[in-house]
Amino acid sequence: MNPLFATVRRDLLLALRRKSEVLTAVFFFIIVVSLFPLGIGPEPALLKKIAPGVLWVAALLATLLGLPRMFAADHADGTLEQMALSPSPFGLLVAGKILAHWLVCGLPLVLLAPVLGVQFDLDGEALGVLTFALLLGTPLLSLIGAIGAALTLGVRGGGVLLALLVLPLYVPALIFGAGAVEAHIAGLGAGGHLSLLAAQLALAIFFAPWATTAALRIALE
């Protein structure tokens, strides 16, 4: 597992040197979520109803902002080719890059969600369900997004194409992630939605690194 952790450490150090790129997604998430209470007005019932969807859509779009940069810099300077030729398993190195992307772009959103959820008059239990759903869902977004980032690597206008490829695949995560909070608020229990979200994550952990590695090998040929 040393190559995986070495890749994560390297990408985190590079992210610290490019703080503006990291902060862009975080501030985008904060601004988008905060605009809805200001635009709709102080109606607690309405705010509580739209809260899960707003927070999840904002997290989805904020994650999407960082996807084009996941492999682009390494592809431009030849690092990606060296990774493919190294004795370490390429799939393990790719998994490290996906994990680093989640730590930089996904984990901050999970930590901020309970704070921003207070604006929508969510109680403590609902905020807990929201946080846990995002903890399951944001790695799933990074894993699925990595496949799209690899498929569009080096393509002109790849950012638009990436969004068109990835957004439909994000729909199940959005439905079950937001649905978990809505079900909890309605008193129906969030267990079913969270279980389906966890099942999607388990499948993505198994298949996404392999699919991403295959797509990157095609892009490097």
What pLDDT was estimated at residue 205?
92
Question: Within 13 A of 105's CA, how many CA atoms are on the CB side?
Answer: 34
* Parent domain of 146: 2-220
Question: Within 13 A of 128's CA, how many CA atoms are on the CB side?
Answer: 7
Distance of CA 156 to the CA centre of its chain: 23
* pLDDT exceeds cutoff 80 at 154: no
* pLDDT exceeds cutoff 80 at 21: no
What's the pTM?
A: 0.90
Task: With cut-offs at 50, 70 and 90, classify the pLDDT of residue 157.
Answer: low
On whether the CB atoms of residues 12 and 41 are closer than 8 A, the answer is no
Question: How many structural domains are present in the chain?
Answer: 1
Share of the chain above pLDDT 90, in %: 36
Two structure tokens written together for 24: 């862009």
On whether the CB atoms of residues 129 and 184 are closer than 8 A, the answer is yes
Query: What are the tens digits of pLDDT across the range 81-124?
Result: 888 888 888 888 999 999 999 999 889 999 999 999 888 888 88
Task: With cut-offs at 50, 70 and 90, classify the pLDDT of residue 195.
Answer: very high
How many Å apart are CA 34 and CA 207, to the nearest integer? 35
Query: What are the tens digits of pLDDT across the range 133-142?
Result: 999 999 999 9
